[in-house]
Every structure is written in structure tokens, then in C-alpha cells.
A and B are shown apart, each in its own frame.
Chain A
Amino acid sequence: MSLTIQQVEKLLLGSHKFEHLSFSLLLMRKKMLYATNTSPSVLQECAKEILGFLEKFKGTMSSDLAVLEKL
């Protein structure tokens, strides 16, 4: 599972719903950070953490992956 930087930004600015608890919690944290500072460096940092999460936990995310693939 990989997302482009544009897809991560879409995720951070959108209102997508997920089942995976820790992904939802992580995403809300990152959305808050990006809402307060929309600089490219913050976006890169958010992307790094989200992609790191997906790399580690994609096997447990089942139906949520479909939402991410549609970004």
C-alpha cells in the first residue's frame, strides 16, 4: 500500500471514515497538525508517519484499504 503526497493531502483534508481504531486516531492527530500548519514540511512529516503506519499494519486494515485506494 502506497499513497502519493497528493493522496495523503486529500486524506488529511477529507472526511473519510475508517474501521481501524489506531489508524483513525493517528489520522485525526495528523489532520489536526495539518489544519494548524499547511506547510509542505508538515505534509511530508504527516505522509511519512501515515505511510509508515500502512506499511506496518496494512495486513490488519482489510476494508479500510479500499477507502485508501479510492483517494
Chain B
Amino acid sequence: MLKSFQETAKLIEAGKVLHIAGTEALLKKLPKGKWAGGSTEYFMAKDGGKISNELLFVTEFPYEDFSIKTYSRAEIENVAADAFDNGFSIVIIPFDSTVHKEYAQKADGFKDMFMKNIVGWISGVNLGIPGQTPIAVCGTDASAYNDKAVVLHLNVPSDKAVNVNIINIFAQDESSPIITFAEEGFSVAKCFVNGKETVLADYIAQNKIDTKLPLVGDYAGNGVNISFKAIENGVVNFYAPVFNHIQYRIAKSIANYEKEFHSKLADFKETEAAFSCNCILNFLYGELEGKKIEAFAGPITFGEIAYQLVNQTLVYVTVD
């Protein structure tokens, strides 16, 4: 939940195991302790979406067996191998760092990736304030990184079951064509629209595609979103990479974000998430400031991790 700097510092000093989200400036002032953190000023609190540079979103875990590790670009491939067998790991990666790109492009091939429970988020900045740096912080020595991931690995008692899942308010628009890619990555020029080679930027312009809607990749029944970032000089930039073995379609349009979230969340009223995060694009496009997304409080992030990087998605963990 949202806490003041003093309340957060007290919890750290009391020896609690914590995940903390807040501004770069606040995180850098916190005392050393059993915590991992990342930068954002956007939060989904119990009473609604909030932007704050004075409060921190603090999640306390009752697990005594844990580790907090940092990972460079070269080391991030070990993240799942290092995770506990019956536990979960919260990965925090600074936006636009080399480790962000490495994770985004290769996570599905990392050792043990799908045999462990891996969640996390991409840290960011206040979009209206220049000069900030996205960071991840290792609380054990209070070191802040803009080029390394910080991971809180938690071991959960063996009589408990961990489940990682997503809530995706988007689905493929089945009436739109299948889009595939020969090139992979965060930026592409060309794609195939129903098999025909096409300049993606032209296709978007000619068909008046709303780029607030993501591409939705079909992963054997689960939709994984790729959000549009910008179109520059005929190149389409995304917030996550596209892959050449995935079939994408543009998402079905949504009339009312808040309503759509609540409709999706109706099935989750009894869910108690041990951790959750939601996307900055859902927050901005859905104008969620001041609006409640029941049951799922947490940081609003610049990319979400449910094993691999996803966009415009709510990610959560339950421990039952």
C-alpha cells in the first residue's frame, strides 16, 4: 500500500522483506535493508489511480527465505535458474537499458524460465518531468542502477502454491488481418498482412489504425500485447519486441477502459494478489487517475513481466 517515506523507512528498519516503488529521489534516500525497488510515480492504490512523488508503494512479504540479486545484461539469463523452486521472483528492470532489451528479446529462452514463477516490471520516470532516470535499487546495500536489473527472489513454504497470471483487457480483433514479421525487435519497417509484404507504417495510416490499441500476439490461446510507441520515418517502434514465430492482430477497440477493467475483474473479486502491477499506457489511455481497479493495487509500470515482457497488461501473483 502507499506509505510515506518515514513509514517506509520504519518498515525497512524493522527488518521487513519489502518491494518498494517510488521516485528515484525517494528510493535513493531509503535506508539499507531487505528490500528491492524501482522507480515510478504512478500507482494503483486501494482508493484509485494516483501520481505522487511523495509516497511509496510498499508490499511486505511474510517469507523469511529470500535473496536480492542484481543482474547485468550478461547475467540476466540466469534469473530464472536462480529463482526458488516453490516461490516467485520480482524482476525490476530500468526502462530502455541494455538489460531491458536483452530480457525483452531473449527471456523465453532463459534456463528454467517457465519452470519458476517470474513476474516483474520495467521502472520509469514521471513523463512530464525531464531529467529523471529509471532505476532499480538493491536495498541490501542501497545501490541504485540504471543498467542492471534487481530481483527479489522469494521462497514460499512448501504447503503454499504460487500462481502467476495476467489480466488482459484486449483481445485480437478476429475481423482484422493476421500480421506477421520477418524482422524481430522493438522497431520494424515491414510486416506481412495476411501473408502480403507491407510497410507497416503505411498499413496503419491507410487503415486509420488506432495505435493506442496494441498488437495482440496469439500464444496458444493466451493473448500477449505489444504496444505501439511511435512511428518515425516509416519505422514503427514498439514497447516490446515482435517475434517472427507469432501471429498478431490489432486488438479489438475498447469503448471504456474503466468499465472493461471492471468487467474483466468481476471474476477476481475474491483474489488476493501477493503482488501486482499494471501498465502506464492503461493508466494514461484509460485515464485511471482517481479511478479504482479493485483487488489489484501496485505500481504502474513501463512494461510488465509475466515470464516474458508484456505490455498494456495487469500482472499478478497469488499465493494460496
Footprint of B on A, CB under 8 Å? 15-19, 21-29, 31-32, 35, 52-53, 56, 59-60
Contacts and interface: CB of A to CB of B under 8 A. Distances in A.
16 contacts: A18-B221, A18-B222, A19-B222, A21-B222, A21-B306, A21-B307, A24-B222, A25-B222, A26-B113, A27-B219, A28-B246, A31-B220, A32-B245, A53-B114, A56-B115, A59-B161
A14 to B, nearest CB: 9
A65 to B, nearest CB: 14
A28 B115 contact: no
B220 A24 contact: yes
Contacts of B114: 22-23, 25-26, 29, 53
B142 interface: no
Interface residues of B, number: 21
Given A29-B109, A31-B220, A32-B243, 4 more contacts: A17-B220, A32-B245, A52-B115, A56-B115
Interface stretch (B62-70, B146-154, B163-171): B163-171
B308 interface: yes
Contact of B219 (A24, A35, A59): A24
A8 to B, nearest CB: 14
Contacts of A35: 245
Contacts of B245: 28, 31-32, 35
Nearest to A36: B245
Given A31-B245, A52-B115, A25 B219 contact: yes
A16 B218 CA distance: 11
A18 B220 contact: yes
Contacts of B224: 25
Interface in B110-166: 113-115, 161, 163-166
B108 interface: yes
B247 to A, nearest CB: 10
B116 to A, nearest CB: 9
A53 B243 CA distance: 23
A27 B115 CA distance: 12
Contacts of B308: 25
**Top 6 A-B pairs, shortest CB-CB distance:** A17-B221, A32-B245, A26-B114, A24-B220, A24-B222, A22-B114
